[in-house]
Structure formats: structure tokens, C-alpha cells
Structure 1
């Protein structure tokens, strides 16, 4: 795969931020007994990673706007382009020395996500996608969603919130309904990794609610370019703005959606 100049900029930013996170990740165990505690450390780690991404992208495209998990919104003069950035998706994994987390960068042009990068630095897995150009792993392997056609054969992933969120009870009802219908449910702790792995055919489906645009923007395009379908819980075409994702190949996504729709 030949990367566009735009995608090269995004990849460079993600890899630089990933190297910073990797250095910090190797220090996590030593920080478990620090006076300030690991939560303070991880905030510094993701702010540092976000600053690296911001600096790289701002240098390359100085007129573009930003929407960032830590830094919020930064206006641009372009009027059409916005970078959507999650510098560390999978914070709890990071804190517990679990090597499943990612840097995620997406570019929105008008109403469309047109390019995305998801990079897991510990596993050194780089996922990229451009609208109309497919989704790729390490520039060499074109990604396609899995071809399984029955929920009973499918491994589905979700991100169950566990402490005091408004979606707690609903998620537990969804889980109780979906669990007996599928081959297995996984909870990786990183929606960006989940959607990249769905695009790669490792998972067969994803559902989750309570998401922010930076959680799903990069994976949204990745799944679509790998031949997948993404909607909200009502079955409407997926948007990074409504906080809901139901995704998979056409058949699995439809079956997953049918199972979820009646649950209130």
C-alpha cells in the first residue's frame, strides 16, 4: 500500500506518541507505590502523548481544527477539517501493565471521517485507513471483516462500564441477552483496539454505548473500509457523535442489532 502524504503525517504522529507511551508504560510498575500514585502519572503520560500528536499535526496542517480527549477543541481557520485525537485509549489497561492500548487519530472533512490511524505501540501494530482506499495492517495486509454468518459462531466484544454510569443496568440486560447467543464475549478495555481487531477479522462484532467521538472516529472508518457495517442501537447509519456503536459484517451486525433493539 502506498500511503498518501496526509496519512504519512498521521502515522508519523501516532508512532512518535506511541514511543512516548511505551517509555512510560515500562515505568508503570515502579509507580504503583509512588506518593502521587499511578493515576497522576497516567494523566501526564497521555497529556504528553497528545502534545506530541498535536505538535506534529499542527506543523503539517496549521489551518486544521482539533478535537482532543485531553485538550478539548482548538479552532482552525480551514473550516472543513478537524483532527480527532485519543492519545491513550485503554487507560486502565495501561495502569495495570496490560499491553492493550492505542493512540488513535482520525481526520474529519465536512461530515465525513476520511482518514484514520490506530497504533498499539507495545504490540507494534499499525492500522490505517483512508476513505475509498481500504483498511490496512502495517501497510502490507489489507483488512477484511470476518465472514462468519451466525451469532452462534461469533466472538463479540464490548466495553461494559462498571461504576455508576447511567448505562449500567441497560448494559447488563444487553449482556444477558447476547451472551447465550454467541460463541464468546470479550472485553479488551480499548474500543479503538476492538474496532481495529474487528476490521482485521479477529472479532466478529462490537457493541457499546456511552462513547465519545475520539473513542470511535478512527475505528469507525477502519471498520467501514474493511467491509463492515456500523450503526447506532436504532439501526441508523453510524455517527461518531451519538455515542453508540453496533458493528460487524452485514449479517452479524444485523443479527446483533436485532438482539439489541428490544432491550430497553
Structure 2
């Protein structure tokens, strides 16, 4: 295992232990609303602080991009951190949440860790070295088309998102596939695509910390990652589509038919 990935694994497990110590007493937590349907708790903040402490103990000069603390430092190595992806699920004791840590080196995503502290499943990947679940190699599914495929998604919840376009996408994809699942933690959805549990996934309006680790996982498991419009980088736009190569192509084509190309006057 690459030394940076090894540090990320230790940081994710440490944060996961902290998260689970609060799982059975979420009613005691202080919860703050960042925006409509977007919450943060003291657990999110404490978990991120623990991850950063773990990183800087080994690499004090590395830069950080965290969901709760923002950007800090100036280095060719940037740690992209979501300390608790799926906070709403956690607050409802719905066991679909994760610690997500991506590592970018000289502008390229190199390593990723997604850890579900409830199930203790650990997904890891390094560029050029493959992806693994609990140390066992994983690959994307072998689905040949949308027919019979199981697709993951995330619902848009901000006022500036193209809800009408999303509903049209959802309607067509639902009719073409075996089903669409919305579990509420994008990092785990991406990990599930890497492991072949989902055949594809799409979502609008994500942040870099939601995607960084999962992108590495999907690519290293043999999957495709792209921006919904077919141009640009999902890390910049927040609009992502992934899947095994055949599902990715079919899913992307379906989505593009319903993208809003310009804002209404």
C-alpha cells in the first residue's frame, strides 16, 4: 500500500471510531443548518479535525480541502476530506454514511479511501494499482446496457439546481433500468459502482469532497467517470456520471438529452 494511502486509511478508521461513539446518542448532538436540507454536527467537525491531525502528524506541510474547514495550506499534495458523508442519514441512524478521503498530487487524483464505520467496510484505491474492498480486488459490473441495470442517484435539493431536468432524467432512466436507488451518501454510491453493487450513478451539484475518493475507486475498478455534459471535469462542475464502460455510455446519453443548456430568461 502506498504510504499516503496508508495514512488515509488510518485517518479514516480513527474518524470512523469517533463517529460510531456518537451513533447511539444522536439526539444529544448539536445540529446546525448550513442551508436547506444540509446539516452539520459537532461530530462532522470533530471527525474532520481528527483526520487533519492524523495527516499533519506525518505530513505537516500538506494542503487540506475539507468540507467543514475549507482550504488551507499550499502544497502539491492536497487532501480532499468529507469527514461524514451522509450526515442526514447518520442523524436518523440510517446506516449509509462514510468517511471519504481523496488525495490529489500535482493536480491529479492519486489515492482514495471510503470507509463505512457502521459496516466497517473499507474501500481503497491508488492510481495504477487497482481498487479494493477490505483488501480484496474489486471491479465494476459487467452489465451490457441500461436494461436490467441498477443505478444510483442523488436528488437535487438546492434552489439553483435544475430540478425539472433532473426529474426528466430520473423518469427515463427509471423506465429503462431495473431500478434507481437514492441512499444519500455519494461517496458510498461511487464505491458501490466500483464494487459492482451498482452498475452506474449520476448526481448534480456535488462538491469535490463528495467525489474525490470515489472517482479514484471507480477508475481503478475499470469504470468510467465523466461530467454530465460530456465536457469538463465533474470535480469542477459537481455534475457527475459514472458506470462500467457500457452503462456509462448509455447513462450519459440519456442524461444529456435532459440537460438544461441555458438559463431561462
- TM normalised by structure 2 equals 0.92
Q: Note if contact 1:14-1:104 (Cα within 8 Å) is conserved in structure 2.
A: yes
Using a 3 Å threshold, how does the CA distance of structure 1 residues 64 and 201 change in structure 2: closer, same or farther? same
2:81 counterpart SS class? strand
For residues 147 and 157 of structure 2, what CA distance do their matches in structure 1 show? Answer: 26
For residues 215 and 244 of structure 1, what CA distance do their matches in structure 2 show? Answer: 11
1:152 counterpart SS class? coil
Partner of 2:129: 133
- The answer to whether the aligner puts 1:98 opposite 2:94 as a matched pair is yes
Gaps of 5+ in 1: none
Partner of 1:240: 235
Q: Note if contact 1:42-1:95 (Cα within 8 Å) is conserved in structure 2.
A: no
- The answer to whether the aligner puts 1:108 opposite 2:104 as a matched pair is yes
Q: Kindly indicate which of the two structures has a greater share of residues assigned to strand.
A: 2
- TM normalised by structure 1 equals 0.92
1:110, CA displacement in angstroms? 1.4
- TM-superposition CA deviations, 1:13-45 (whole Å, max 9, x none): 0000000000111212x43xx8x6x55895101
- Any residues of structure 2 matched to 1:104-183 within 5 Å, and which? 104-139=100-135, 141-162=136-157, 164-183=159-178
Gaps of 5+ in 2: 34-38, 261-265
1:60, CA displacement in angstroms? 0.9
- The answer to whether the aligner puts 1:194 opposite 2:189 as a matched pair is yes
- TM-superposition CA deviations, 1:188-239 (whole Å, max 9, x none): 1000000001000000000111011001000011000000000111223644
1:151 counterpart SS class? coil
Using a 3 Å threshold, how does the CA distance of structure 1 residues 165 and 93 change in structure 2: closer, same or farther? farther
Q: Note if contact 1:143-1:226 (Cα within 8 Å) is conserved in structure 2.
A: yes
For residues 107 and 4 of structure 1, what CA distance do their matches in structure 2 show? Answer: 12
1:165, CA displacement in angstroms? 4.4
Partner of 1:52: 50
1:7, CA displacement in angstroms? 1.3
Q: Note if contact 2:226-2:242 (Cα within 8 Å) is conserved in structure 1.
A: yes
- The answer to whether the aligner puts 1:231 opposite 2:226 as a matched pair is yes
CA RMSD of aligned residues (A): 1.6
Partner of 2:201: 206
1:162, CA displacement in angstroms? 4.0
Q: Note if contact 2:156-2:204 (Cα within 8 Å) is conserved in structure 1.
A: no
Count residues in correspondence.
254
